[in-house]
Each structure stands twice: as structure tokens, then as C-alpha cells.
Structure 1
């Protein structure tokens, strides 16, 4: 199975650490990723696809950085740079581009809520009204995967990517007071029409 994130991760590592060290880190990350995938079980097809394509490559990257001789703080700082400056910025650009679609808020809110009602990636409740919608997530695959793989602190960066993704949009506002990744009892997403 081709994992899209791998190309981006390899580029990040070689740009950050130089060709030789970056390639060595990339090889380590790929080996760790293979092991993470192999030992993951009891997941639905959708959960497994999200783990393989989105979550586990980043867990493996964090583990590879941690095993490379970097301090835990430096490994986390590099991960933060990757997650916010690459992943978050890419997601923000894609979402900002979607705002050009006529009826963006209406379409986005309906699709987002429908996905949240039907997915098994999170357990959530939803509420909505004129010009706003809320999603309260009580259990989330990203948080579970980080905890299960010994890096609960990494989940904070997945949460921070949401802040980058939705921050500064012209038609969609976003707030959140707490997240599972930061130790909250839920993630309390609040979206509103600007």
C-alpha cells in the first residue's frame, strides 16, 4: 500500500538534517512504521486506513527522531515544525481554497456533521443552529493511537494542526477550549459562519 505521507516526511528529513542523515532517519522511520502497522489489530477498515495513511507515519517519525540521539525536547520541536509548518499549512491552504466555492459554509457544515455522525474514527455528539455547529469528541483514534504507542504528547500536535487548519479563514470561524490531547475530557469544536 502506498502511503502518501512518506514522500513529505522524507523531504522534511532531508531538508532538515541534510541528505545523508535525512535518508538514514527516513529509513529508520519506514522500518518503525512497518512494525507499527504490523502490530496494529482489532481496527475497522476505515480506522486502519486512517492509521496507516495519517497517524502511524507521524508516530513513526516521532519515534525515529527520538531514537536518533536528539533530546526528547529537540525531537518534539522538530515534530512540531513538521506538523505545523508542513501538515497544518498544507491543510489550511486546502481549506482556504475551498472557501471560494459558492455556499462554502453551508456545504462544509453539512459534510463535516454528516461525517462525524457516521464515522468510527471518533465518538462524538453534534449540535447546530443558524450560523454555527459544534462537535464534542469524547474518544478519538488520533488520541488512542498516540497513547497506545507510548507518545501521548504527540497528540497535542495533531490538535494544534486543527488550529492552523482553521485559523484565519475568511468564511469559517473556529474555537475550542479543550482537547483530549491536552488532557481535557473531550475536544469541544465550535465552528461558526463569519
Structure 2
């Protein structure tokens, strides 16, 4: 097991321990997602607002996290990476494996919910791209699709 995987296992087991102690999925979700929500959202907004190319900045960050943060416990495939679309699909999720293996697969969506903190920072009109994730492994999907797509002025709804 590589160091990123060890870190991710520790974090996932801490979530499991909190659930076993608190006994409430709602409390655990709030405790896991809310404390850093504003910081993550603000940092992501700042990165995108000050980037020369917000789409490319987010794609570069996604690729760096894949390489340095997730480790061997995750398997990624790139269905598309062409400068206007970056589709990064997770086919193996260590978080889900650890939680399901410890009898608590219902906690996997809590891990997925944390991403909402940075997802909410993406403003397609301002940043020129949108993010789509229709499902996750943790919510019963076959993969976790992290799909970043540039938008053009004509593709962005008026508003």
C-alpha cells in the first residue's frame, strides 16, 4: 500500500469510527463535509477566478490529485482528454471498498458529498466550463465520472 492509500484508509476509518460513535448518518455527513466547506469553496473559487484558463487549472489539479493524492487504492481512466473535455472516470474507489468491507457502505456517499464543496465553486458563466458527475460508485453507480467540459458563450444559457 502506498502512502496516499494509507492516508485515505486512515481518513475513511476515522469516518467509520465517527459513525459508530455518533450513530447518525446525518451528523457524520455534517461533521465531515461542513467544517472545511467554506475554505474549500473559497480556495477553489479564488484559484478559478485568478487562473488564466480556469478550465485548464481545474484539469491540471484533477490530474495532480489523481497522481499524488489518491494512490493505488483508486483506478482512473480518461475517456476523453482533448483540451475542451476532460473525462476522468474512477473505476475503483478505495473509500467505498473500505466502508463496504467494514459493513458500512451507506457511508460512501458521505465521502462523495465532500466534493460538493469544490463543485459548488464552479460557475460555468464565469469560469468557462461545467462539471458533471451524475453518479458515484458510493451511490450505486458503476463508476465515478468526473467530467469537465468547456462551455462556449452560445452553449451557456442566458441569465
Kindly indicate whether structure 1 or structure 2 has the higher relative contact order, using CA contacts under 8 Å at least 6 residues apart.
2
Counterpart in 1 of 2:113? 160
Larger Rg: 1
Unaligned runs of 5+ in 1: 1-42, 67-74
TM-score (norm 2): 0.76
8 Å contact 1:136–1:188 — kept in the other structure?
yes
Counterpart in 1 of 2:76? 124
Is 1:92 paired with 2:38? no
Give the direction of change, closer, same or farther, for the CA distance of 1:168–1:107 in structure 2 (3 Å limit): closer
Q: How many residues align?
A: 143
Is 1:58 paired with 2:15? yes
**Counterparts of residues 67-78 of structure 1 (less than 5 Å):** 75-78=24-27
8 Å contact 2:89–2:144 — kept in the other structure?
yes
Is 1:106 paired with 2:56? yes
- Residue 186 of structure 1 deviates from its aligned partner by 1.0
8 Å contact 2:44–2:121 — kept in the other structure?
no
**What is the aligned counterpart of 1:142 among 95, 110, 113?**
95
Superposed CA deviations along residues 10-54 of structure 1, whole A, max 9, x for unmatched, are xxxxxxxxxxxxxxxxxxxxxxxxxxxxxxxxx3332112222x3
Counterpart in 1 of 2:157? none
Give the direction of change, closer, same or farther, for the CA distance of 1:146–1:89 in structure 2 (3 Å limit): farther
Superposed CA deviations along residues 170-192 of structure 1, whole A, max 9, x for unmatched, are 32521112211011111111112
Unaligned runs of 5+ in 2: 152-159
**Counterparts of residues 19-30 of structure 1 (less than 5 Å):** none
8 Å contact 2:131–2:147 — kept in the other structure?
yes
User: Over aligned residue pairs, what C-alpha RMSD do you find?
Assistant: 2.2
Partner secondary structure for residue 153 of structure 1: helix
